[in-house]
């Protein structure tokens, strides 16, 4: 199934679902209840419940509330499932015509969270 066919087929379902756009770790995520996300590392223990108070947009059916910049009194609750590291990204720097090469690797830490509730 192509992407546009999937969107058209599920367009009616998205109107019924409550979803939000949250900001964490300098990035924005579109979330709905039950989603599992890998976000930037959080200083929380596994099993703890956290609250995202930086909610940029909230949609409930056909009602859409956009914040300027944040939606007042909107909170997204999540549970920390796991902490880990992403796959290694390799960085190679060359100096042209000098037979010089520098290799580095980086593995970013992440926290895996499950969205438990979206409240207005």
Backbone angles phi, psi at 48, to 5 degrees: -75, 150
pLDDT at 1 over 60: no
DSSP 89: E
Q: What is the pLDDT confidence band of residue 3, given thresholds at 50, 70 and 90? A: low
pLDDT of residue 61: 81
pLDDT of residue 12: 62
The model's pLDDT over 74-120, given as tens digits with 9 standing for 90+, comes to 999 999 999 999 999 999 999 999 999 999 999 999 999 999 999 98
The model's pLDDT over 7-47, given as tens digits with 9 standing for 90+, comes to 566 666 656 788 999 999 999 999 999 999 999 999 999 99
Q: E strands within the chain?
A: 18-24, 27-32, 36-40, 49-52, 55-60, 63-66, 75-85, 89-95, 100-106, 109-119
pLDDT of residue 60: 87
What predicted TM-score, i.e. pTM, was given to this entire model? 0.79
CB-based burial of residue 111 (10 Å sphere; 0-12 exposed, 13-18 middle, 19+ buried)?
Answer: buried
- Rounded to 5°, angle at Cα 16 from 25 and 53: 25
Task: Compute the chain's Rg from CA coordinates.
Answer: 19
* Residue 55: closest CA among 14, 18, 30, 20: 20
Sign of CA dihedral 84, 41, 26, 63: positive
């Amino acid at each position: 199934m192509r992407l546009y066919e999937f969107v058209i087929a599920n367009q009616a379902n998205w109107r019924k679902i409550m979803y939000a756009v949250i900001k964490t770790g300098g990035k924005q995520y579109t979330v709905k209840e039950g989603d599992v996300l890998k976000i930037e590392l959080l200083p929380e223990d596994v099993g703890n419940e956290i609250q995202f108070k930086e909610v940029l947009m909230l949609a409930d059916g056909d009602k859409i509330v956009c914040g300027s910049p944040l939606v007042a009194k909107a909170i997204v609750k999540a549970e920390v499932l796991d902490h880990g590291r992403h796959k290694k990204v390799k960085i190679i720097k060359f100096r042209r015509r000098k037979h010089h090469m520098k290799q580095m690797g980086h593995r970013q830490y992440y926290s895996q969270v499950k969205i438990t509730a979206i409240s207005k």
